[in-house]
A and B are shown apart, each in its own frame.
Chain A
Amino acid sequence: MSSWMVGVDTGGTFTDLIAYNTETGDVQLAKVPSYPPDPSKAVSAAVQDLLGRGIAPDDVGFFAHGTTVGTNALLEYDGAKTGLLITSGFRAIYEARGWIQPTGSDLVDTGYQKPRLLVPQYLTEEVSERLDYKGEVLVPLDEDGLRQSIRDLKRKGVEAIAICFLFSFLNPTHELRAAEIVGEEAPDVRVSASSTVLPVIREYPRLSTTIIDAYVGPKVEGYLHRLTKRLSSIGVSTPQQFLMQSNGGLMRIGIAARHPNQTLLSGPAAGIIAATELARLASCRHVLTFDMGGTSADIGVIVDGQILESTENQIAGHDIATPMLKISTLGAGGGTIAAVGKDRLLKIGPESSGSMPGPVCYGRGGTEPTVTDANLILGSLSPKSPLAGSLRLDEGGARTSIEARIAAPLGLTLLEAAAGIIRIVNTQMAVDLRRALREQGQDPRQFALIAFGGAGPLHACYMARAIGVPTVLVPLYPGINCATGLLQTAVRHSYLRSAVGALADFPVARMNELFRELERQARTEAAEEGFDPSAVQLSRQMDLRYPNQGYTLGVECPSDDFREEHKADLRSSFDALHHKFYGQAALGENPELVTFRVTSEIMVPKLRTAPIEAGTGDPERALTGDRQLYDVDLQSHFVAKIYDRKLLRAGDIIEGPAIVDQFDSTTVILSDYRASVSAVGILALSRREQP
């Protein structure tokens, strides 16, 4: 009864489902095609697929979802018609886009463009009001003028309004009053006020985040409404329905429509959560996550089980300062296109054939060679092993395309061309993996690489070789790892408020007052989400910087009242953290407080990975055949044995060169690697001792 937990993640091509029975430990998987016009259709189709296996709707006691609705609205400029209210005289804050400047080859591109404004100037209204840097009123709010502005915006047909006044993070009165007046003048219009969305210092990131919140808000709200209706129409009516947020925590679907800005990295965040859980199971302290899918590869760094958060994020070129798991993305996936550049060197990406038409070998009309086509030629993939159980790969198509478009123009053989594609994409990914480690001052030898996504396990051994990571871990279901992560986290919210000042001089009473206010907010929202306030775990953080720095680092604070003598500890923690990230600390300088932060966590049930059946150590039972596999580093062919992942047992040892096929992914074990199957089914790859 109510013993099934269900996680559904919407991806570009497939919508993945994992279901877990908390009593029996039984796991069920489903993969259905995504339906971009209304993703809730595919979500409900996946759930129905599950219900068709004899699970009653009432048995679903927990439902968690990762969505791309908000992200897609941004990517496709398909959000609401949005109006903006700003302090009079400051139209250039958004126009300048935080002074975003070109980099790389854009530096001298005379046609360089900044990302298009989500709110054009004609939907931006200036409001007569102004606060000073202490939050005191310099110019009172002109309510009559404001009413007129709101009526004008309403007449122009806006569906949402963003409000961002200068210094509102110190004193929200004007913004809140403006929101009230919007409620009176235009009750159907959704309002996002910056002092509610993200009350932190720096006007542009706060403005941009608030605009994104307003812009995607109506879409996200409408989507969640349709989703809950569909779920209840098929009988899934548990109140335990959650959405994954960009910070890796869940929030109740019922309140998610309030925080659309927090939904934008929903899927990738879940992938990182699953990787964290996997690292715990494998007893790895530090892991590097490598999620390679059809169009891109996402990279995350987990140190001591902690995932770094970032407040300087961009989605589809738009700045968003909402705290999110730090994930770096590069345009390298299975569908990434290879082409001869104008300089006659081989170029990979960033263009992608996407999920439609996809690689040439998918036979859906793609003509440009991709990474997947090269993997097929080299034997990493095979026409005999269909992808996702049904998609047969057309090797002839891949060959023709690589020959005509790469090999012939460059005077290479087919094999050289295909190997070149993989060498270059591997180099690019390894560069970014190393960069992710370097930026956190970390040593690859202390890390394990967790490879997932449809294509991650194909390239993982090459990555490990290139960056010097000793171990690669491949989860039991690498292709639905993000759905898995939905069932492995807690409800989590962050509450932020900026108050700038030198740490040494900052009144302790004021600190405690700020923290307590944020904690009150956290408890109130937890109650509104239907949780018992006593179940809420709260933690305190302060973001500090050295004077004049443009970036801050978050330092943990004691959860009880902050006292004067705590300042020295806080300062040395900050110095140490700065040293860790940047290799130095300005010990002589007096750090400044910038932002106070309270994080709330509420535990919900989690998927517990059960041990798999133990074997004899010999994987012979899973052997299905062999094929030629070309190693692009060693530039030679090997005969690789092929194993069926389903039939592997705990304790099995597989010697490379080998290939492990499964429904949702393919793992390549190169000739100098050996894989072992852990008690819970994780495939752990490590380099064999050199003879």
Chain B
Amino acid sequence: LRSYDSPGARITEIGSPRDSDPAQILMTSRHEDLSFFATAISREVWRCSRAGAEIIEEQHEHGHATARFAGETIEIEASDDFGAIPAGLREIDGRDLERRLLAAAGAAGAIDGAISAARSAGGTLHIINRARFVSSATARAFDAATIVWFSPDAAPERSVMAPPHLIAGFVEKLAAAPEPALAADHRDYAIVWRGGSGAVLLHEIVGHPSEEGEAGEGWPEWLEVRDEPENGIVAAGTDDVGTRTGVRLLTRGEAPSAMRRFSFRDVPSIRMTNLVAEGRQAPFDVPDDRIEVTLVGEGAYDRLADTVRISVVGSALVRRDRSDQLQPFEIEAPRRLLRDALAGAGGRAVLYPGVICSDGGSRLPVGSSAPDILTRRLGR
């Protein structure tokens, strides 16, 4: 196993495409319209408290899916029996692949620090390891990644997600956050999106529409939002149908390059992998009175109404030198209004602790990084 770190990334790549391994088959010209995808996934749910930590749930699943692309239709044959690789793909040694996937999925990242932090904070820790093998006529990959997700008992909506080596820091920060006390109408204040949380706003107003090819125009010149699959928290340079991925400029109208699916039983579709926002020469003066957002519970984009809803679960109302933690609130607004409210960005992009993106029942972790972002007062 070879592992490497990049900013916010921990991906373990297993073997090399040049290995003469049965599981490293590149689809031959006979299979140009086929993509073979196999996963082994293990999930653990830990209940953590000062009294101790125990596993309350464990799930292990593995299987494979062969997809045939026929115009706008994808036909997929999926099974969890590695002794039953579809006819025509006999060059794949199913049993050997099964063994290798299971071994890779069983080798989780070090989580001792996460469990210790979770015990102090009190809550539920989800540890998800996924090993995958994908092969098409043009690319292949065999890799594994671990993500960890923590929900505190006191406020389950305030969850954080990160690779194992980063989660403890996020959990500790979450536990140290003061209790919310004050209610305020967000429409009356400018918002400074701190700690990378602006990436969630951009995930909804730029990212999801771009998946449909509908990001639209009119983005500020100073803002660049990219999807960078190769630098993400979970993905590598080959997507889940065996296509090489690449950087896409979502604010220039490009769609993400990756077709993604988590498990062999999921359907692949174009999805973001790792959203990175950058502000160029767009520093802003911090307004005296403002809301500072640090944690987002969930977000949603309604394509039909072209509206966005964001549930803010960690924020403070800052009035000059005074700061009061705010109760959770929701921002629901037309996407254009939020786009036009983007007013500036400052500092370097930082990794936001976690976006698990749900679309049509398929839940995928999406890396999300952004600098501090200022949005103007929306008004009532």
Is the pairing of A and B real?
no
> Which of A's residues lie within 8 Å of B, judged by CB?
none
